[in-house]
């Protein structure tokens, strides 16, 4: 079972390394999920039932998500260019 999982991991990595659109897809999904979480946090923040401590926690989480989103966007040009330098034949996993 572990051998099978390792092989799947290798294939997954190989597909990502050779296809910059796979990276873009993963980043887009992550950014979409972050945007959804941010909308939910803003709804919690704006809810009249939310305590002051709840609002503070919401703002902290919103800040963390903003930083994460910015990092993902900053890294996107790098990962889209990565496949240019990756020789699939040279790094073929067996």
- Tens of pLDDT along the chain (94 residues) come to 888 888 888 888 777 766 767 778 888 999 999 999 999 999 999 999 999 999 999 999 999 999 999 999 898 787 767 666 665 555 554 4
Dihedral (C-alpha) 25, 26, 29, 31: value to the nearest 10 degrees? Answer: -110
Which residues, at least 6 apart from 54, have a Cβ–Cβ distance to it below 8 Å?
44, 45
Question: What pLDDT score was predicted for residue 34?
Answer: 97
Which residues, at least 6 apart from 20, have a Cβ–Cβ distance to it below 8 Å?
79, 80, 81, 82, 83, 84
Question: What pLDDT score was predicted for residue 87?
Answer: 56
Question: What pLDDT score was predicted for residue 55?
Answer: 96
Rounded alpha-carbon distances, angstroms, from residue 30 to 56, 67, 73, 74:
24, 13, 10, 13
């Amino acid at each position: 079972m572990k051998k099978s999982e390792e092989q799947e991991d290798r294939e997954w990595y190989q597909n990502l390394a050779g296809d910059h659109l796979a990276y873009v897809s993963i980043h887009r999904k992550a950014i979409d999920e972050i945007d959804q979480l941010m909308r939910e946090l803003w709804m919690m923040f704006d809810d009249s039932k939310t305590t002051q401590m709840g609002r503070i926690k919401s703002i902290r989480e919103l800040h963390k998500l903003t930083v994460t989103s910015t990092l993902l966007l900053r890294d996107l040009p790098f990962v889209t260019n990565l496949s240019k330098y990756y020789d699939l034949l040279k790094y073929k996993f067996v």
